Amino acid sequence: MAAMGAPLASFAAPQTGRRTGPKRVAVGGIRIECSTYTPILTRMEDFTVSRGQALADVPFFSMLKKYPYRFQPTLLADAVPGGAVEASTYQKLKSEFLDRVNALLPLDGLYLAMHGAMSVEGMQDGDGDWIASAREVVGKDCLITASFDLHGSLSRRIIDNLDMLSAYRTAPHLDREQTTQRACNMLVRCLDQHIRPTMVWSPIPVLMPGERSSTRYQPAKRLWAQLPAVNAHPGVLDASLLVGYVWADEPKCTASAVLTGTQPAVLRKYVLSLAQQYWDARKEFQFGVPTGPLDEVIEKAVSLQPHPVVISDSGDNPTAGGTDDRADVLAALLKRHVRNVVIAGICDKPATDACYRVSVGRTLPLSIGATLDPKASKPVHANARVRFLSHMDDPLGRQAVIETAGVSVVLTERRRPFHHIYDFTSLGLDPAKFKMIVVKAGYLEPEINKIANPNLMALSGGAVDQDIIHLSNYHRIPSYPFQPNLKWKPFAVVSARSPQQT
């Protein structure tokens, strides 16, 4: 229970105008990260939507049952990162969420599980729209807390409609549940003690891909490491730093420092300090592993004796919003006659379907890749032998393992990452036995990172190209590194709902 020990302000904290009786709280939200550099929209079928009791039963939220108040479930929509959310899909999800919240009124508290990097077709600041709409329904007396991914971006609209916020402190994200606990502990504490907290935010005009701002490496490691100590100061309820999201061309996309608490002067002091430190470190953010153009990375991997070398196909990483359909790495491997490699995976429904039409062991001609965004990349044409077919009712969608010229490829019906050893073994693949493993990823998640010997990152093309300096920018505010000589001094924004001003 991370933030529960932080001492409160010595002065009488501002009081909420709460009604008496048992507290009524609810939970819901939408979590997706959207690249605006892909034309592929995220549609209803791409979301996993949990409603009512099914949301209450989601294992991730089981910790909510430990609180003294029952968190009434509304609607939670989750999706693998992708392109902007289709406008009609967003409106349907939002309306149902708001109807479900409305049916629970009056509410004393609302917990919103958000990512913070949602783009919606034809709209700026989708997360701000969702949160402001929730505020309109629950009214001004309800306290709203939110959890954010540290790759989320904040806006004035978001800040002005929330009362408190907690963001992940690790990338890769190892503290998802702790972050939910921080956000909900804070809500329960404020409800119990009749506190209306203050939020102080400093937007920092720096944008880095997650691969250059992992908390495994400096300078992010030291910047984030200080947050628990800042959180422990009297008057601070939560301290969060957010990297923001670079592959969305929206004005809100920046890094942020944001503190929640009861002593505005203290919050202001630390938020300005964190923002200044982040700004001062902006030129230090670097990739944590060796990187290079795709051809160079493959050459290096071939020359290395140890195995398995894990190559991150970073430009097509679905967990950052990549399309997940590109076959560039397969083409490069076949051209060099590299063998004993597994590529996990390539999303290609037609090729997957073709494999299911024949049996395991059969060879068939396939066109592999470039089915979701045919303008952005080219397919590979090859004769391939079907090695494995997953169960038809696999919740991740059907998956086929094929082999062509010594390269095994996992074809998937749906976009998905490969983060765990089980993701391979469940398809009859032993990842440790391959000379090379290619994953569509940026930084590696812990299990794959553990077997990487070593990890090399290919700066490959795609919707989440690491070559961010060449991204087209029409809506973004001036920020580093797009304006390398930008001058900036940190400033603090106090949220409109805060009872006191600095």
Q: Which is nearer to Zn ion, 183 or 329 (CB)?
A: 183
153/330 Cα distance (integer angstroms): 34
Shortest separation between residue 210's beta carbon and Zn ion, angstroms: 6
CB of 438 to Zn ion, least distance (A): 22
Rank residues 151 and 476 by Cβ distance to Zn ion and give the closer one. Answer: 151
Other residues' Cβ atoms within 10 Å of the Cβ of residue 409:
30
Q: Is 62 helix (H, G, I), strand (E, B) or coil?
A: helix
- Contact range with Zn ion by CB under 5 A, out of 62-70, 141-149, 303-311, 391-399: 141-149
C-beta closer to Zn ion: residue 151 or 157: 151
Considering CB under 5 A, how many residues would be counted as binding Zn ion? 2
Asked whether 193 and 149 are in contact (CB, 8 A), the reply is no
Residue 151 or 169 with smaller CB distance to Zn ion = 151
- Residue 187's H or E segment, with its range, is helix 176-192
Query: Which C-beta is closer to Zn ion: that of 149 or that of 348?
Result: 149
Residue nearer to Zn ion on the CB measure, 318 or 379: 318
CB of 78 to Zn ion, least distance (A): 13
- Asked whether the CA dihedral 21, 179, 30, 478 is positive or negative, the reply is positive
* CB 246, min distance to Zn ion, A: 12
- Positions of E strands within 37-179: 47-51, 71-79, 82-83, 109-114, 143-148, 164-167
Asked if 181 and 199 touch (Cβ cutoff 8 Å), the reply is: no
CB 151, min distance to Zn ion, A: 4
Q: Find the shortest distance in angstroms from Cβ 239 to Zn ion.
A: 18
Please give the distance of CA 77 from its chain centroid, rounded to a whole number. Answer: 14
Q: Shortest gap between Cβ of 168 and Zn ion (angstroms)?
A: 7
Burial (CB < 10 A; 0-12, 13-18, 19+), residue 300, is middle
Q: Does residue 127 touch Zn ion according to CB under 5 A?
A: no
Least distance between Zn ion and beta carbon 67 (Å): 26
Query: Is the link from the previous residue into 234 a cis peptide, with omega within 30 of 0?
Result: no
Tokens representing 123 are 């709209």
Ramachandran category for residue 309: left, alpha or beta (phi over 0 → left; psi -120 to 50 → alpha): beta
Give me the residue whose beta carbon is nearest to Zn ion. Answer: 151
Q: 446 is written with which tokens?
A: 């812990």
Which one of the spans 145-153, 156-164, 213-221, 352-360 is the region binding Zn ion (CB under 5 A)? 145-153
Near Zn ion by CB under 5 A, which window of 88-96, 143-151, 330-338, 386-394?
143-151
Give the angle 440-445-449 at the CA atoms, nearest 5°.
95
**Beta carbon nearer to Zn ion, 37 or 148:** 148
Return the number of the residue (46 or 149) whose C-beta is nearest Zn ion: 149
For Zn ion, the binding residue among 151, 269, 414, 476 (CB under 5 A) is 151
CA distance 283 to 302: 32
Q: Is 149 in the site for Zn ion (CB under 5 A)?
A: yes
Q: How far is the CB of 111 from Zn ion (least distance, A)?
A: 19
Compute the distance between CA of residue 165 and CA of residue 143 in angstroms, rounded to an integer.
11
Region binding Zn ion by CB under 5 A among candidate stretches 68-76, 148-156, 364-372, 438-446: 148-156
- Calculate helix-pair angle for 126-138, 87-102, nearest 10 degrees: 20
Q: Which residue's CB is nearer to Zn ion, number 174 or number 360?
A: 174
How many Cα atoms sit within 13 Å of 220 on the Cβ side?
29
Residue 79 tokens read as 């999706």
* Nearest approach, Cβ of residue 158 and Zn ion (Å): 17
Distance CA 200, CA 159 (A): 8
Q: Which amino acid is at 9?
A: A
**Cα(199)–Cα(497) distance, rounded to whole angstroms?**
8
Rule CB under 5 A: which of 374-413 touch Zn ion?
Answer: none
Say how far apart CA 260 and CA 262 lie, in whole Å.
7
Nearer to Zn ion, 74 or 214 (CB): 214
Nearest to Zn ion of 149, 238 (CB atom): 149
Work out the number of other CB atoms within 10 angstroms of the CB of residue 157.
18
Counting Cβ atoms within 10 Å, is residue 383 exposed (0-12), middle (13-18) or buried (19+)?
exposed
Q: Return the range that interacts with Zn ion (CB under 5 A); candidates 142-150, 186-194, 456-464, 494-502.
A: 142-150
Closer CB to Zn ion, 151 or 268, in the complex: 151
Residue 209 vs 261, nearer CB to Zn ion: 209
- Minimum separation from the CB atom of position 31 to Zn ion (A): 10
Report in angstroms how near the CB of residue 319 gets to Zn ion at its nearest: 8
152 neighbors 320 (Cβ within 8 angstroms)? no
Q: Minimal distance in Å, beta carbon 149 to Zn ion?
A: 4
| DSSP bridge partners of 344 | 410, 439
Name the segment binding Zn ion (CB under 5 A); options: 150-158, 270-278, 292-300, 304-312.
150-158
- Asked if 282 is part of the footprint of Zn ion (rule: CB under 5 A), the reply reads no
| Cβ(110)–Cβ(146) below 8 Å | no
Stretch that binds Zn ion, among 68-76, 146-154, 263-271, 469-477 (CB under 5 A): 146-154
Q: Which residues bind Zn ion (CB under 5 A)?
A: 149, 151
